[in-house]
Structure 1
Amino acid sequence: MASTTFALVDARKSILEDGFFSMDDSVVGEHVLEMEQKDFPFASEYGLEFCKLNLLDDTRIRSILESFFPRPGLGLCLKYSNDPGHIFSFRKGGAKAGLRVLIVQLWSVGSRAGYWGGSHLLSLPAVRAANGSWEVPSSALKRAGCKETEIKFEQGGLAILDARLAFEIKDGFTITSAFATEDEVKTWAKMLLPRSPELAAKVTEMESIYTKIGVNFAFEDPEPR
């Protein structure tokens, strides 16, 4: 699936020092478009296959995750739309909080994002946002000496970032997944799926193929009509 040269050592260095790593990838852009055309059915066979194909099957993503965590666990998969002028992070606490969560963003064609390099290592003021993440004021980032790197995903692409990093979705949208350490993901709410043999089989397939990566799903009975 890779469209440009990938080197794990460079990706790790970028995530550790800058807080993020990104790549253009037209295939990812095509898959994200297909997901959009189907109205983002995350809790379905198609949605699980999308996660498997674009996250677990991608050797670039998998190698980065496994290089940071002994057994990373998938604990979130949602769409995040553009919200220009608002800067978010998924975790706060800076260096003291440690690297416990990595975020994978699959970007739509024509998306534009801003990443504030080095912000993952700083304890910055933040308030809880409506989307469940933390909103960080740009003034605090600038005072701390952080510089914004703007990236345009012309044909789509992917980014992997430390969850403490401050970022902005300026145009487009991203399908965002969170992978955490094994003990961290145990504290998260389960991703709920309707109980069905087909979905159970798909989850079992994901768990059996990639034994070094956990998936934090639980099944619930569908509501009666």
Structure 2
Amino acid sequence: MRVRGIIELFFKWSGLGLLKAFGLSPSLVFSFLNNTTNELNEDTEGVNKGKDKVKVLVVQLLSSDFRMVFYKRSHLHPLRAKLVRIGLLDVPQESLERDEIKPFEVKTKEGGLAIIDGRLGFRMLEGVTIMAGFAVEEELKYWSKMRLPKTMGLQRKIKDMESERIGINVEFISLGLKGGNDIPSTTQPK
């Protein structure tokens, strides 16, 4: 099954809101988001009751010789992560110190693909990953649009990629006459 089919199985409609490459940071555990749109829903044990309410899926294209640790069941807990410069959330180690959260290492010799809940904690040990984040409309409205150069070819390609079930959260901008990089990072919150 193609990635599009998997995304459509989870969501009635979603939008691509992030597309970015990340390198390793073995000393940090990341998450793409804490609990979406301020929805905590904790019971007395601190477990998120919204486990069946996935609002963001992150598709990770993994390089060859890639190593990553995923933290199973971390997406069911409030991780109290803080935004760091690269646009991901840094998860404090103490948020992972629960009996039900287990580290699980993944190694790829020839590269690979992972599709994870956006709340899942992960640590990149070796290699690089390209991440594509897909969010439901109620979450995507809080995200800044991805800013891309306004060219006919790129606008046409984006239009071809969109479908009835998957949109793309993008703003096309005209590049300055100097030709420099006028497109700032799109991973910071609005």
Provide the C-alpha distance between the structure 1 equivalents of 2:32 and 2:115, rounded to a whole number of angstroms. 13
1:96 is displaced (CA, Å) by 5.4
Q: TM-score, normalised by structure 2?
A: 0.81
1:117 is displaced (CA, Å) by 0.2
Provide the C-alpha distance between the structure 2 equivalents of 1:63 and 1:77, rounded to a whole number of angstroms. 18
Q: Establish whether residue 64 from structure 1 lines up as the match of residue 17 from structure 2.
A: no
Q: Which consecutive residues of structure 2, in runs of 5 or more, have no partner in the other structure?
A: 41-47, 179-190
1:139 is displaced (CA, Å) by 3.5
Q: Establish whether residue 92 from structure 1 lines up as the match of residue 34 from structure 2.
A: yes
Q: 2:152 aligns with which of 185, 197, 205?
A: 197
Q: Which moved more, 1:131-140 or 1:61-70?
A: 131-140
Are the structure 2 counterparts of residues 201 and 140 from structure 1 closer, same or farther at C-alpha, using a change threshold of 3 Å? closer
Q: Which consecutive residues of structure 1, in runs of 5 or more, have no partner in the other structure?
A: 1-58
Alignment-derived partner of residue 132 in structure 2: 177
- Note the aligned Cα RMSD (angstroms): 1.6
2:65 maps to a residue whose letter is G
Higher relative helix content: 1
Provide the C-alpha distance between the structure 1 equivalents of 2:81 and 2:161, rounded to a whole number of angstroms. 36
1:107 maps to a residue whose letter is L
What whole-Å deviation, never above 9, does each CA across 1:138-174 have from its counterpart, x for those lacking one?
3431235311000001100000110110001110010
Provide the C-alpha distance between the structure 2 equivalents of 1:206 and 1:153, rounded to a whole number of angstroms. 28
Provide the C-alpha distance between the structure 1 equivalents of 2:104 and 2:121, rounded to a whole number of angstroms. 11
Match runs of 1:21-32 below 5 Å: none
Match runs of 1:144-183 below 5 Å: 144-183=99-138
Q: State how many pairs are aligned.
A: 165
Alignment-derived partner of residue 23 in structure 2: 81
Provide the C-alpha distance between the structure 2 equivalents of 1:156 and 1:183, rounded to a whole number of angstroms. 33
Match runs of 1:9-158 below 5 Å: 59-93=1-35, 95=48, 98-158=53-113
Provide the C-alpha distance between the structure 1 equivalents of 2:173 and 2:105, rounded to a whole number of angstroms. 41
Provide the C-alpha distance between the structure 1 equivalents of 2:160 and 2:100, rounded to a whole number of angstroms. 46
Provide the C-alpha distance between the structure 2 equivalents of 1:144 and 1:190, rounded to a whole number of angstroms. 38
Provide the C-alpha distance between the structure 2 equivalents of 1:149 and 1:193, rounded to a whole number of angstroms. 36
Provide the C-alpha distance between the structure 1 equivalents of 2:27 and 2:100, rounded to a whole number of angstroms. 19
Provide the C-alpha distance between the structure 2 equivalents of 1:72 and 1:122, rounded to a whole number of angstroms. 23
Q: Secondary structure at the match of 1:70?
A: coil
Q: 1:211 aligns with which of 159, 164, 174?
A: 164
